[in-house]
């Protein structure tokens, strides 16, 4: 008899275990981050109290945290849809920019024409969604019909989208009254979301909340949601059942791009109130991580986005006490490493000590002698 320790694939992963693992990863990530802060000559205690204070300590910090979570959550909801059918849409960044462009295009028509907010804002949402979806159309079609790697195409189109928006704000859409700054004209009030109180939190918060609820229902209670599930888990079985795998993939990609586009609209209408070339601080990329940490579940996306919004905001708070703002990004990375490292290991596998059957041991012993 011999004992051997091995990892076995788990049959199922209890939800409780996932929550524990994520929490553990957050704690370990924070601990490692704390060591780094301490090693750099700052006080970890000061840093963490500043983060908590700055992200959740009062109505203004909470408002800022939630405002930062809005684009992350909206993009991540779409990313999660694409990931569910094994499509790696990492073009959220570009689709976000295109959404802002689409919304601004609608605003440029409706604003001067004096459309009321009740008409203009929904029209801008449609414009944003359509432009974002349109930006995902080519990669989605290439992937579903011709097997072209969507990671590369979506990634490359991000740069094109950013350049396109820059072209507009440096060129034809530049505000003539803007003293040569690369901005579009400021949106009229009818094209902006109203704010809650002093912070940046705006009515657009309802977009990801409503979208998440709708998405939960769509995934669980519609034929399309069912088809996504089947195609994502087993495309072979989907084909066997007569499901059109290609069009399911394409629609998932379009919804994914559309959500990122909607996020772009919400950002320009809610926070920036104009179009410029620096709309996003890597929201599209961070949203991928949010979606992944939330295990592609819409409601979990909301929760994780708030956590990441808090880290973005906490970064700003630590800079007030003399610690570099980038601590927020460091912590995001650390948490992610720990989730990837320990998280996957313990949610997908279980540690088991097994005794080897004696025949195998004997055979192994013989093997060494030959």
Partner 1 sequence: MAAPRPHRSEEAVALVGIAKAFPGVVANKDVDFSARWGEVHALLGENGAGKTTLMSILAGLYRPDAGQILIDGEAVTFHAPGEAIRHGVGMVYQHYRLVASQTVAENLLLGLPGVPFRLNAGRFIREARELSERYQLQIDPSRPVWQLSVGEQQRVEILKTLQRGATILILDEPTAVLTPQESEDLMRTLRQIAAEGRTVILISHKLEEVRGVADRVSVLRGGSMVSAGLPIGALSARDLARLMVGEDVPSLRQEEQVARAGGTRLLLQDVCARDTRDLPALTDVSLEIAVGEILGVAGVAGNGQRELAQVVTGLRRLTAGQISLDGRDISHASARTMVRLGVAHIPEDRLGEGLIGNLPLTDNAVLKSYDRPPLSFGPLLQVQRVVGFTRTLIERFGIRGARPDSLTRLLSGGQLQRLLLAREMALNPKVIVAVHPTRGLDVAATQQVQEWLVESAREKLASVLLISEDLDEVLQLSDRIAVLYEGRIVGCMPARGADRGQIGLMMAGAANVAAGVS
Partner 2 sequence: MTGDLVIAICLAAIASGTSILLPALGEAITERSGVQNLGVEGMMLMGALFGYIVDIQTHNIVLAFVAAMVAAMALALIHAFLSITLRANQIVSGLAVTLFGSGLTAFIGKPFVGAQAPVVLSRVAIPGLSQIPVLGQILFTQDPIVYVSFILVPLVWYFIYRTRPGLNLRAIGENPATADAMGVGVASRRYLYTLVGGALAGLGGAYLSLGYTPTWVEGMTAGRGWIAVGLVVFGTWDPLRVMAGAYLFGFVDGFQLRVQGLGSTIPSFFLNMLPYLFAVVVVSLSSGERLQRRLGIPRALGLPYWREERM
Would you state the torsion angle of the CA atoms of residues 207, 209, 213, 218, taken in this order, to the nearest 10 degrees? 30
Residue 176 CA, distance from chain mean position: 35
> 333 is in the binding site of which of partner 2, partner 1, none (Cβ under 5 to 8 A by kind)?
partner 2
Q: How many CA atoms lie within 13 A of 236 on its CB side?
A: 0
In the complex, the smallest distance separating the C-beta of residue 285 from partner 2, rounded to whole angstroms, is 6
Instruction: Give which of 249, 212, 217, 208 is closest to 230, Cα–Cα.
Output: 249
- Give the integer Cα–Cα distance in Å for 69 and 196: 15
30 part of the interface to partner 2, by CB under 8 A: no
Pair 191, 269: CB distance under 8 Å: yes
Q: Which residue has the tokens 């097997």?
A: 147
> 225 is in the binding site of which of partner 2, partner 1, none (Cβ under 5 to 8 A by kind)?
partner 1
Token digits for 107? 């605003």
Q: Give the Cβ contact number of residue 264 at 10 Å.
A: 39
126 part of the interface to partner 2, by CB under 8 A: no
- Give the integer Cα–Cα distance in Å for 181 and 297: 41
152 part of the interface to partner 2, by CB under 8 A: yes
Binding mask 88-117 for partner 2 (x = CB under 8 A): x-x---------------------------
CB closer to partner 2, 209 vs 235: 235
327 part of the interface to partner 2, by CB under 8 A: yes
Pair 360, 367: CB distance under 8 Å: no
Q: Which residue has the tokens 């179009």?
A: 275
DSSP 204: G
Contact residue for partner 2 among 77, 211, 259, 289 (CB under 8 A): 289
> 46 is in the binding site of which of partner 1, partner 2, none (Cβ under 5 to 8 A by kind)?
none
> 354 is in the binding site of which of partner 1, partner 2, none (Cβ under 5 to 8 A by kind)?
none
In three-state secondary structure terms, 356 is strand
Pair 71, 267: CB distance under 8 Å: yes
Contact residue for partner 2 among 134, 178, 225, 329 (CB under 8 A): 329
163 part of the interface to partner 2, by CB under 8 A: yes
> 170 is in the binding site of which of partner 2, partner 1, none (Cβ under 5 to 8 A by kind)?
partner 2
316 part of the interface to partner 2, by CB under 8 A: no
Task: Give the binding site for partner 1 (CB under 8 A).
Answer: 11-12, 220-226, 229-230, 233-234, 236-237, 239-243, 359-360, 363-364, 366-367, 370
Contact residue for partner 2 among 17, 46, 56, 164 (CB under 8 A): 164
In the complex, the smallest distance separating the C-beta of residue 145 from partner 1, rounded to whole angstroms, is 17
CB closer to partner 1, 180 vs 359: 359
9 part of the interface to partner 2, by CB under 8 A: no
Q: Which residue has the tokens 């008899």?
A: 1
In the complex, the smallest distance separating the C-beta of residue 221 from partner 1, rounded to whole angstroms, is 5
CB closer to partner 2, 117 vs 336: 336
Question: Backbone phi, then psi, for 14, in 5-degree steps?
Answer: -65, 145
Task: Give every CB contact of residue 113 below 8 A, 6+ residues apart in sequence.
Answer: none
> 292 is in the binding site of which of partner 2, partner 1, none (Cβ under 5 to 8 A by kind)?
partner 2
Element (H, E) at 24: helix 15-39
Contact residue for partner 2 among 129, 173, 187, 292 (CB under 8 A): 292
Contact residue for partner 2 among 157, 211, 238, 253 (CB under 8 A): 157
- Give the integer Cα–Cα distance in Å for 269 and 307: 23
Token digits for 185? 């004209």
153 part of the interface to partner 2, by CB under 8 A: yes
- Give the integer Cα–Cα distance in Å for 51 and 73: 20
CB closer to partner 1, 27 vs 214: 214
- Give the integer Cα–Cα distance in Å for 33 and 51: 12
Please give the residue ranges that form the binding site for partner 2 (CB under 8 A): 36, 40, 88, 90, 138, 142, 146-149, 151-153, 155-160, 163-164, 166-167, 170-171, 285-286, 288-289, 292, 324-334, 336-337, 340-341, 344-345
């Amino acid at each position: 008899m011999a004992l051997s320790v091995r990892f076995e694939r788990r049959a199922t992963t209890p939800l409780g275990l996932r929550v524990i693992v994520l929490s553990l990863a957050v704690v370990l990530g924070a601990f490692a981050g704390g060591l780094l802060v301490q090693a750099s000559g700052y006080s970890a205690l000061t840093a963490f109290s500043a983060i908590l204070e700055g992200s959740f300590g009062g109505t203004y910090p909470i408002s800022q945290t939630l405002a930062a979570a809005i684009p992350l959550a909206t993009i991540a909801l779409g990313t999660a849809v694409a990931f569910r059918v094994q499509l790696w849409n990492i073009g959220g960044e570009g689709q976000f920019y295109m959404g802002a462009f689409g919304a601004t295009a609608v605003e440029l028509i409706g604003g001067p024409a004096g459309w009321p907010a009740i008409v203009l804002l929904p029209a801008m949402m449609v414009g944003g969604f359509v432009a974002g979806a349109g930006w995902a159309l080519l990669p989605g079609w290439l992937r579903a019909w011709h097997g072209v790697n969507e990671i590369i195409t979506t990634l490359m189109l991000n740069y094109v989208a950013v350049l396109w928006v820059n072209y507009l704000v440096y060129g034809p859409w530049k505000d003539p009254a803007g003293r040569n700054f690369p901005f579009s004209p400021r949106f009229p009030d009818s094209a902006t979301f109203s704010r809650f109180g002093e912070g940046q939190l705006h009515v657009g918060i309802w977009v990801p909340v409503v979208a998440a609820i709708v998405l939960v229902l769509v995934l669980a209670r519609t034929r399309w949601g069912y088809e996504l599930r089947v195609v994502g888990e087993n495309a072979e079985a989907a084909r066997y059942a007569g499901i059109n795998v290609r069009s399911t993939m394409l629609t998932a990609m379009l919804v994914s791009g559309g959500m990122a586009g909607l996020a772009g609209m919400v950002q320009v209408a809610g926070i920036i109130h104009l179009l410029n070339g620096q709309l996003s601080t890597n929201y599209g990329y961070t949203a991928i991580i949010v979606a992944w940490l939330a295990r592609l579940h819409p409601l979990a996306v909301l929760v994780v986005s708030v956590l990441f919004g808090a880290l973005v905001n906490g970064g700003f708070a630590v800079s007030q006490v003399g610690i570099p703002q980038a601590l927020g990004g460091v912590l995001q990375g650390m948490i992610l490493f720990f989730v990837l490292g320990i998280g996957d290991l313990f949610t997908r596998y279980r540690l088991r000590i097994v005794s080897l059957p004696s025949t195998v041991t004997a055979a192994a012993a013989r093997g060494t002698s030959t």
